[in-house]
Structure 1
Amino acid sequence: MHTPDSRQAIVLGVWWLTIVVLMNAFTGHMKATMMLRPERQRIDSFLDLSRQKDITPFLWKGGAYEDLLKKSVDVEEYRGVWNLIVKRHGLQDEALYSDENLRMVLEGKAVIVSDHTTMLYHASRTCRQHLAAGRYYFAKQPTFPTPLSMAVHRSVDPTLRKFIDER
């Protein structure tokens, strides 16, 4: 048998190197796709949430949001969300943002109905903790506005009241 010359050796080496690189790329891609789980359908509004049957909506007990949902019998999606909260025991007296509740949110088993600022704080606080093995997202459609309001006693100096009322 004769020995291959240097050109044949280079072609053979490049061919084997290409095969090894392609095999590693294929197995890496296959392993990565097998590890992915399909993403659940996003909940971007109260209407989307009211149509869910297997998700627990968490809500502060005794707050303004509870009052709004409980008494809004004429808004169908509010009524649907309220029925879901009652059925799935979603009213929380304390620890709305507990590790267990946030873990359920990350697993796609629950949502938290609250104001944007508070949820943003708690989501960013837990992103650095051990339970942040997922992604939080906020609904695209705002649930209900919570503008800032203040009550000032009548006896407060009128100059101060005027100053407070200015924007």
Structure 2
Amino acid sequence: MTTWNFRVILNREPTDEEIIALYDAGLDDCSVAGGREGDMHLMCTREADNLLDAIASVLIEVRTVPGLWAVGVGQGDGVTLGDAARRHGGRTQASLRQLASGQRGPGGFPRPVIEADNISIYSWAEVSDWLRVKMGDDIPAVPRDIALADAAVKLACRARAAHQETRVRHLVGVA
């Protein structure tokens, strides 16, 4: 087994009683962190065969505490080119814009996952991987499983808000 470290963002700050319930549910390998509203999360160190299994086991245990649920995993995968430049630390937004448009570099920059008006949102996992592999940039790898788990959690939250959990489960092939 491998030990995995990741962050699970909660829908709100848990009460003292809920923190005890989380611990009792098996989350003794996680700690509640954060301070400002909307940034409450669990920092987890979980043993599992793979990262998705580790994240899934934490999400299942969080759901045992009524009123608490996950709203995200990790630091969020969606980034603008400006966000990507800040996370990278060694490239400017203008440099990334030139790479994305094909004006510079080898081409094949990841396509945006969302385009609306004048804003493009990219997957940080895809962009950082491309920069590391194609450009030789020295930046840490972002496990794509974090981005996948984050997208799944966000889909579940949207389905819950629209009262469409059963239909969405059917849509993605989960009975």
TM-score (norm 1): 0.28
Question: Greater share of helix residues, 1 or 2?
Answer: 1
Of structures 1 and 2, the one with the larger relative CO (CA 8 A, separation 6+) is 1
* Greater Rg by CA: 1
